Chains A and B, each alone.
Chain A
Amino acid sequence: MKRNNIFRKLFQLTSNKPEFSLNADSFNPPHNRPADSGDETGECLTTSLAHNRKTLESIFGLPTNKDVVIRDFTITSLNKKALIIYIDGLSDRNAQNFAVLQPLMLLSRGHLETNEPIDIAYERLVPGQQVEKTKKLEDVINGILEGSSALLIDGSAEAMIIETKGWEHRGIDRPSNEPVVRGPQEGFNETFRANTASVRRYIKDPKLITEIMRVGTRSRTLLALMYIKDIANPALVKEVKRRIKSVSETTDYIAETGQLEEFIEDHPRSLMPQMLSTERPDRVAAHLREGYVAVMMANSPYALVLPTNFAIFLHAAEDYYLRWPFSNFLRFIRAISIFIALLLPSFYIAVVNYHQEMIPTDLMLAMTAAREAVPFPALVEILFMEFSFELIREAGVRVPSIIGPTIGIVGALILGQAAVSASIVSPILIIIIAITALASFVVPNYNATFTIRILRFLFIILAGFLGFFGVSFGVFLITLHIANLNSFGVPFLTPIAPYHPQNKDRVIRPRAYDQPKRPIFLRPLDWIRQRDISRPWDKPSSSSSDEGDDNYEE
């Protein structure tokens, strides 16, 4: 039984089940924090301002907690005591001063007599555009935590939540990890609403739905689920929601989409990225239009697009903005560089150690001569250099930008020049490492790069032990693995295997007007993306796409 478990664990890579490590029932009863505090102090507000103030003070830990500010004042026209409560730094001072305090204190002249002061304030006094009345303490707390100001008036059991959100944030910037030459140059940033709006700017369709949820019982981070209602498959949307909901109830803190990804992906033990994380609104929009679902979170400049397939290794945003011959050229370069980045060092090892006969004699003599002075076996040599390169790469990310150029000097001079002159590595190996490094930078997705970087070491070791046999073993193993992968029910190798003849955007990008069907593997509600003949003035071409897709099932 135990052995069986070990085996099962060893091969659990294959499991199809979504696994959530945290389970709501086995864990502490999950409760949202505000709801908790609401339970302690009563759900609703009272008519007494002093009492309400005391409640709020105890919830927010005043006066210890200096973030929360309470401003007491009197509403002139009503002659009532009132207060606004907000979080310093999350609220916009100007909005508070000119849209809340000034109208209430200075501009409301005359005398109004009423039993429901909050209604008067709502209807006449506060000019804010997004104002909400509530009796619930929980809403007040949530509103305050998000940067709104809550207005409480003596004698009223209701509060007004006035939208005064405004905090320091980064402006819209160029996408730093997915730059393109041709195409839109703006990326997401950390502002939630700016991100959702920038996607909507690409799709002006009322059917584009943005559902908002919160994840993390403590962080309560805002999360937006975007999809086009009459394209995206409802089952997919439901599944995504189910997983996110489960996470939101079970875990206390989710800061970023990268963290969420790990919680909701299908194969947490796999090396393959199973969601596309992108910082380009145009890319999200393009995917939404095909029936994908996007997940965005506040404070995260990366959106998740799911499900995904092998295209994550190959397709880039720019492919669709260039004319098809150009983008296909890039696709080929990319496809080749994936192989180089994965396999070139292991090929070198295999050839040097096992298959010397493969290379022409002259080249082999040159290589042997270069290796003559090197005291290490080729495997040690290449592991050493690959490791150094990974060091440069990681150091390049972490190094303070002021001393950034040092990395270049250390990397290029010491590791390249000096290592060769000291006969620690052979010059040919430096070339191999350099080409591999360049090729690994061509991979368009940051997560996918990691897969390739890690697998490269596996291949090097396999090649060191068994030559080409080991490398082919590795390739077959990886292929078996990715052929089995699923991302939200979509096989990783679609539309190649399982094969969908109608979706031709696999390795080669078909001409833009020649892709009438949406990705069928997503089972979209509406398959047709454009008319079969988008260029009616052309002569009918022979390449029609009326080939039946046999893999389609209702």
Chain B
Amino acid sequence: MSNSEILREFLLETHENLALLDSDLITLEKEPAEKNTLAQVFRTLHSVKGTAGFLGLVKLQAVAHSAESLLSKLRAGEMRFTPTIATAMLSVVDAIREMLASIETFGNEGSGEYSALIAEVDRLREAGDGEVLAAQPAEAALLVTQPVIALPVAPPPMAHVTTPTPPLIIPSPAETIALPPLESASDAKAAHVSDSNIRVDVGLLDKLMTLVGELVLSRNQILQHSASHEDDAFLGAVQRLNLLTTELQASVMKTRMQPIGNVLNKFPRVVRDLALACGKKVRFEMDGQDTELDKTLIEAIRDPLTHMVRNAIDHGIEPPEIRKSRGKSEEGRLRMVACHEGGKVIIEITDDGGGIDVARVRDKALSAKLVSPEVVARMSRQEILRLIFMPGFSTAASVTQFSGRGVGMDVVRTNIEKIGGTVDVESPQGQGTTIRTKIPLTLAIIPALIIDSGGERYAIPQVSLLELVSLNPDQALRGIERMHGAPVYRLRGTLLPLVFLDEQLQIEVTRGVADDVNIIVLQADDRPFGLVVDAIRDTEEIVVKPLQKQLKGISVFSGAAIMGDGRVALVLDVLGLAQRASVISGAKSRTLGEQERPTAPVASAGQTLLLFAPTAGGQMAMPLSLVARLEEFPRTALENLGARPVVQYFGHILPLVDVSEELECLRLGRRSLRSQRRRHSVSDAVSVVVCAAGDQQVGLVIDRFLDIVDDHVADRSRASRPGVLFTSIIQEQVTEFIDVAALVRAATIDLLPHTT
């Protein structure tokens, strides 16, 4: 982004803010105690000062700074807002306006001299009260005489600043935006920044969107009717209408979307200047500039992001010497990442600075009387960190040109919350700070895959989509296997857990056995899973609208959208769906299983394996080295010891463990399934694998022995449940490798005293 573009944005933004300032100041004059308005004025001037500083507009910065200092006193309640102050402040606004006009036309602040105005403002601040109007210097009058001439309701030239009554001008915002500078008033050809952009009311865009939606609906109806016509001229017209409508819809939708890069791209420069001014070295990284965001949201995050970046550099990243002494590289890192995630836009600003000192935050909050000591004592570290978002909070030891007046993070929070977003902070002591902003997707348009299930349409955001797999009935029969009841599909040799959408949503199952099986491979938190749907329709760009409160609790939907034909379709929340189907929570236990793996006997490549079928079906394997004997007992030999079946075996009591049942117990975290599922096959004999675990023997009850194989287990997938080390494919069958040690442990805990 070039310098001139930054300037352009600054001008546009400030023009708008100035219009507000005028009316705010007038409000304040009438109601001096109006704190919110005062804070508003303060923030605006703070912003102007800050940006002017970055852009090297010295005069502008000086004027804004003096005004801000005066306001600072007012805000602290040390002074009262008097008409004199109002007059002076309005002069400041006019001076700023004059400079902006000059910048727009000539590219510099102009030759105006504002030291008198600054002196006047400073004098007011020091006087501590408003009764100083007699001494108003004449020069000040000159500064504010710039008539804003092109306005129909131009404010009268304020030639007499000494007038005790302030000028009662409330320019309407629209007029102020169109404000041309004095010089160019005679030069109509000069292109103005404000001319090349039209500010359109968002409400109007909304209305346009709705109308286009209705148009699409009518178009579709006409298309349907036209099918029965044979009039070529009519059909041609319908075709044109069709194309135009599609294009119109796309354009109207795009009017609201902008890549977030439009905002982010100004930051490298901001960071550079700021780092230089603070005497720090900062490397700035950005990612996700092409994340599209609604225009209104872009506008709304601009200021908060600037504040966060300022804070990160000013307070976060340490000066080079300190960084060196702490063993970090002299150059600090500041990273800004934007992405779509779970139906929200996430913007993260991370620095590798000193982090936030919780003790200092607490002390500061206490001294500023933001919280009471009793409350603080009960707060967690995270809660204390969040105090930085309270109004009037600032930890910077000194007020600098850039930040530290206590209007930082509360502005950030206010602005983000205004658009329904959230902001949070993470700061492990000494390890930098991450500010995470989540903005709702409410208005964002996202590409989505439209699918059918149970006779209804659903939209799946394409961000989480990996690939689509379609199986004909034959392939489906062979390709979809069951692992202890859980359906899986071998996708290029890796097992992909399958989730049936109609089952998850508890809707009518309309899939037939003879239908193709459509698998949508989705990504949820790094874990792929296959979603089985009835039909895959098309991709469509959708506008996600939030669900109303009656439906808020359903985590599998992130919103709803209106489709091309006018019907409503629900938008699936892939994360929520994965959680509901336990794809993700399952992942956690799998990770745990992995950590435990080294301690358990692992079937490694080249081992001899015993293959067997457990009582619940499927195929399982265990290393043959752990097997003492294979036995078959007549069912009548089984006895019970407590809840545990046992047999007498060479003079010892051999506890029996049904592999399938025990795995189920482990999965459910229960000690025993009791009798509810004890239905060893109908046969009279029980197949038992006798395992030696230490000096303890345990019999694993299975359905039947299958084979003994020498297998180089190459393809391992992660375990599917506790008690299983990993899964693989042996003899073209999905096979679970059981964790013998874990099973034995589980089975013998309650028996140990009785055996030996």
Bind each other: no
